[in-house]
């Protein structure tokens, strides 16, 4: 089983659909990798679904590297992409390169993702020139969601759609190997997908993209603060987890867990230890 490279990923366009999921820890990464995920994104959604923040804005480089390293160690085949957190690439192309390199060197990622269109193209060019493969992300960009009026569908009118198409073309020209399209009308995602030579990866962007990405905790029913309308919940694990935890709590209270099958036995009779005098204090 060989690792999917950035080149393999790019060449999937027009051949087959790309399936990408988010992951934040090694155990989950191992499971998703073993069933054929093409790419695992260590998204800064980490901040909301794992770290308990209300947005992705507070997420730091150190937090991203910590979790991205775990995902890389749990992955044998999928392309691992680290999400550059807010404030790690906007200051200057030099800052973007320094932080992008950390994802490859310290966390074992194959590539990074960053949010934005034409305004981040200088950073994208610098990263690609430095040998850091970059995935773009346009449409609803959670790091700047408040500027966009909240978590809302983007590109709904002609002017906004024209701007998103221009952003996609600019990112492709700057050297990205793929572009996430988040929360845009399906018909616009189809146009953007036709207009760029690199794969488009949709999330709330309809069926015409070259691939799809989903937040794993959402599709497993593990994040119940809110569920975006474009999420398909393939299983609802939260009630199962609660049921299992309740059973454990009751069994501990009743002394039913652990039973003999979950305990270690010894042929030694330790009861004599009770009669031994305490050791003298030194
Ligand atoms: O942070 C994230 O998980 C993402 C995906 C939703 C694309 O950016």
* Per-residue pLDDT, 128: 98
Is the per-residue pLDDT at 199 higher than 90?
A: yes
d(CA 112, ligand 1 centre) in Å = 12
Q: Residue 25 Cα, ligand 1 centroid: separation in angstroms?
A: 15
Tell me the mean pLDDT in the region 6-12: 98
Does an H or E element contain 68, and which?
A: helix 61-73
- Interaxial angle between packed helices 26-34 and 61-73, expressed in degrees from 0 to 180 and rounded to the nearest 10: 50
Q: How far is the CA of 43 from the centre of ligand 1 (A)?
A: 5
Model pLDDT for residues 201-220, shown as the tens digit of each residue: 999 999 999 999 999 999 99
Among the residue ranges 42-46, 140-144, 221-225, the one predicted with the least confidence is 221-225
**Averaged pLDDT, 19-34:** 98
CB neighbours of residue 250 within 10 Å: 11
- pLDDT for position 226: 80
pLDDT on residue 203? 98
Residues 6+ away with beta carbon under 8 Å from 15:
none
- CA-proximal residue: ligand 1, atom 5 (nearest): 43
**Which domains does the chain possess?**
6-236 (3.20.20.60), 240-275 (no CATH)
The region of weakest confidence among 18-27, 77-86, 148-157, 200-209 is 148-157
Residue 83 CB less than 6 A away from ligand 1: yes
Q: What is the pLDDT of residue 192?
A: 98
Q: Which of 73-87, 91-105, 268-282 bottoms out in mean pLDDT, i.e. has the lowest?
A: 268-282
Bond from prior residue into 258 cis (ω within 30 degrees of 0): yes
178 C-beta closer than 6 A to ligand 1: no
Mention every residue, 6+ apart, whose C-beta is less than 8 A from residue 181.
138, 139, 164, 168, 189, 192, 200, 201, 202, 203, 205, 209
Residue with tokens 């009779």: 269
Region 274-278: mean pLDDT is: 88
> Is 182 part of the annotated catalytic residue set?
yes
Beta bridge partners of 214: 21
CA-closest residue to ligand 1 atom 4: 43
Rg (CA), the chain: 23
> Mean pLDDT across the chain, nearest whole number?
96
Decide if 18 contacts 39 (C-beta within 8 A).
yes
pLDDT-derived band of residue 105, with 50, 70 and 90 as boundaries?
A: very high
Quote the CA–CA distance of 229 and 231 in Å, as a whole number. Answer: 6
**What's the pLDDT score for residue 282?**
76
Q: Can you say whether the dihedral through the CA atoms of 96, 97, 98, 102 is positive or negative?
A: positive
Say if residues 51 and 6 touch (Cβ distance below 8 Å). Answer: no
Instruction: Write the DSSP string, 246-272.
Output: HHHHHHHHHT-SS-GGGS---SS-GGG
Q: Which residues, at least 6 apart from 214, have a Cβ–Cβ distance to it below 8 Å?
A: 20, 21, 22, 203, 231, 232
Percent of the chain with pLDDT over 70: 100
- In this prediction, residue 280 has a pLDDT band, given cuts at 50, 70 and 90, of confident
Q: Has residue 103 got a pLDDT over 80?
A: yes
- Does any ligand 1 atom lie closer than 6 A to the CB of residue 180? yes
Mean pLDDT of 93-99: 98
- Name the active-site residue from 11, 106, 182, 268: 182
**For a pLDDT cut of 90, what percent of the chain falls above it?**
91
Given a cut of 90, is residue 79 above it in pLDDT? yes
Tens of pLDDT, residue by residue over 139-195, are: 999 999 888 878 889 999 999 999 999 999 999 999 999 999 999 999 999 999 999
pLDDT reading at 1 higher than 80: no
Mean pLDDT, residues 49-71: 97
């Amino acid at each position: 089983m060989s690792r999917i490279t950035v080149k393999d990923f790019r060449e999937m366009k027009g051949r087959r659909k790309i399936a990408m999921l988010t992951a934040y820890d090694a155990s989950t990464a191992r499971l998703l990798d073993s069933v054929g995920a093409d790419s695992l994104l260590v998204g800064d959604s980490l901040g909301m679904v794992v770290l308990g923040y209300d947005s992705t804005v507070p997420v730091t480089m150190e937090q991203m590297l910590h979790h991205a390293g775990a995902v890389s160690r749990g992955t044998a085949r999928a392309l691992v992409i680290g999400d550059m957190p807010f404030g790690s690439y906007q200051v200057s192309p030099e800052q973007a390169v320094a932080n992008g390199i950390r994802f490859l060197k310290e966390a074992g990622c194959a590539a990074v993702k960053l949010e934005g269109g034409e305004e981040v193209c200088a950073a994208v060019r610098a990263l690609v020139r430095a040998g850091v493969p970059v995935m773009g992300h346009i449409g609803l960009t959670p790091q700047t969601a408040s500027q966009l009026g909240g978590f809302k569908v983007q590109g709904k009118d002609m002017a906004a759609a024209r701007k998103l198409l221009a952003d996609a073309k600019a990112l492709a020209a700057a050297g990205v190997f793929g572009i996430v399209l988040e929360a845009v009308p399906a018909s616009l995602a189809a146009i953007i997908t036709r207009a760029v030579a690199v794969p488009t990866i949709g999330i709330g962007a309809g069926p015409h993209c070259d691939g799809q990405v989903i937040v794993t905790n959402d599709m497993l029913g593990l994040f119940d603060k809110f569920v975006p309308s474009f999420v398909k919940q393939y299983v609802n694990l939260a009630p199962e987890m609660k049921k299992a935890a309740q059973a454990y709590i009751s069994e501990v209270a009743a002394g039913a867990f652990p039973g003999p099958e979950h305990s270690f036995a010894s042929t030694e009779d330790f009861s004599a230890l009770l009669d031994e005098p305490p050791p003298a204090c030194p």
